[in-house]
Amino acid sequence: MMDQGLAVKEVDYEQPQNDVQHSGSVCATKHAWARVPVEPSVPQRAALKDKIRRLLKEKNAVMVSHYYVHPDLQDLAEENGGLVSDSLEMARFGRDHAATTLVVSGVRFMGETAKILSPEKRVLMPDLDANCSLDLGCPLDEFSAFCDAHPDRTVVVYANTSAAVKARSDWLVTSSCALDVVQALKDKGHKILWAPDRHLGGYIQRETGADMVMWGGSCIVHDEFKAVELEGLIAEYPGAKVLVHPESPEHVVALADAVGSTSAILKAAREMDARTFIVATDNGMMHKLRTQNPGKLFLEAPTAGNSATCKSCAHCPWMAMNGLQDVVRVLETGANEVQVDASLGLRARLPIDRMLAFTAALKSGHDAGSLVPNIGAA
Ligand code: SF4
C-alpha cells in the first residue's frame, strides 16, 4: 500500500532558480525558449551539417542525440556512426563507443551520465543550460532529507536527476527498465522510495503493487496531456491506437493502448496493427515515428483545453535549446565540456552500473532478479 506521507515538491519553473547543484544555470522555461536557436536557412543548414561531419572526423567525436531534439541533430547522429535513442541507450552507447569525444544533444543529466560512465572521454553539449523540470525539482538537500526520513526504504531514482541525487540512490532507472527493476526489488522484499516523477512512480506502483513513497516532481511536457480532450480525439479517430509515455497523468495513461518509454512507443508503432496513432509524448518523437512508419498517420495527443497553460505545446524547451550552430561551436572550440567531480562520479556510477547490468541480463535472457539482493542481505 502506498504510504500516506506523499511528498509533493512544487517548483515554479517560470522563475530563475538559484540552483546550487548547477551553479549559473538558467532554468526558467521562458529563458529556455528565449535561448532556442534561430532556425537556419536552407543553405546555412547544409553548410552547418557539412562542417559538423568534417569536425566529427577531425576530433574523433561521435554524436549521441535524444529523440526529443531537433530532427537535424537526430539525423546527423545516425548518419555519422552515432545514435539517436532514449537516455538508457544513450548512456550505454557513449560508454561503449571508441570515440574520445561524445557530443550529447539532449539535456544536462544526459551529458552528466555520459561523463560519469566515461570519465576519460570529453563530453560536450550544445548548451549546458539545457535542463529538465524533474532534475530542477529534486534538489539534493531536500531529497537527502526525504531519504533520511525513510531509512528502511531502497532509494530508486529516475535518470532525470543530477549526479548528486544519483549518488544518494541505490538504484537508477529509466522509463524503459523502471517496471522490471521495481518488480524485482518488490519480489525481494524491498520497500521503495521513488523520485522524482510522481506520474511514472504512480504508474509503476499501480502495475507492481510495490510499497512506494514518492517525490512529487513532474515533467512539464507530459504533465500537460489532457484526458478529456484525448477522449474527444479518440472518438474522432475510432481505429487509432493510443501510445502514452508514463510520465503522463494517470487519466491519460488509462486511455492508452500501449504505455512505455520512447523506445517502447517506437516499437509499438512499428508492430501494432493500426494505421493511425495518437501519441502522448514530446512531439520531437514525431520525426522518428514518421520516418520509420511512412504509411502511418501520427497525431499529437492534445495538450490544449481545460487548464492548459503556456507550457502546453508538447515540446520540451530545454531539448529545443540544442542546435546545429552550437554543435559546430563546441566541436571547434571545446566549449561546453561537461564536468563531474571525480569522487561524486564514482558514487553516482554505482546505481547506474547496477541498472546497466540488470538491463543487460534482461536482454540476454538471464535472471536479472538475481542481481537484486534480498532485503537485509549485505
Ligand atoms: S521532456 Fe520532460 S522529462 Fe524530458 S527533459 Fe524535458 S522536462 Fe525533462
* C-alpha cell belonging to residue 27: 532554468
32, amino acid identity:
A
pLDDT band at 35; cut points 50, 70, 90: confident
134-220+342-371 placed in CATH 3.30.830.10: no
**35-132+318-333 and 222-300: same fold?**
yes
Percent of the chain predicted with pLDDT > 90: 84
Our answer on whether the CB atom of 221 is closer than 6 Å to any ligand 1 atom is yes
Residue nearest to atom 8 of ligand 1 (CA): 132
CA of 220 to the centre of ligand 1 (A): 7
Our answer on whether the CB atom of 328 is closer than 6 Å to any ligand 1 atom is no
Question: What ranges do the domains of the chain cover?
Answer: 35-132+318-333, 134-220+342-371, 222-300
CA of 280 to the centre of ligand 1 (A): 13
Q: Quote the CA–CA distance of 8 and 247 in Å, as a whole number.
A: 16
pLDDT band at 377; cut points 50, 70, 90: low
Our answer on whether the CB atom of 134 is closer than 6 Å to any ligand 1 atom is yes
Q: Which homologous superfamily does the CATH classification assign to the domain defined by 35-132+318-333?
A: NadA-like (3.40.50.10800)
Q: What is the pLDDT of residues 55-85, one digit of tens each?
A: 999 999 999 999 999 999 999 999 999 999 9
> For residue 353, which phi and psi values (nearest 5 degrees)?
-60, -40
Provide the whole-model pTM: 0.91
Among positive and negative, which fits the CA dihedral 232, 236, 238, 239?
negative
Q: Which homologous superfamily does the CATH classification assign to the domain defined by 222-300?
A: NadA-like (3.40.50.10800)
pLDDT at 12 > cutoff 80: no
CA of 324 to the centre of ligand 1 (A): 20
pLDDT at 20 > cutoff 50: no
Pairing of strands 258-259, 171-173: unpaired
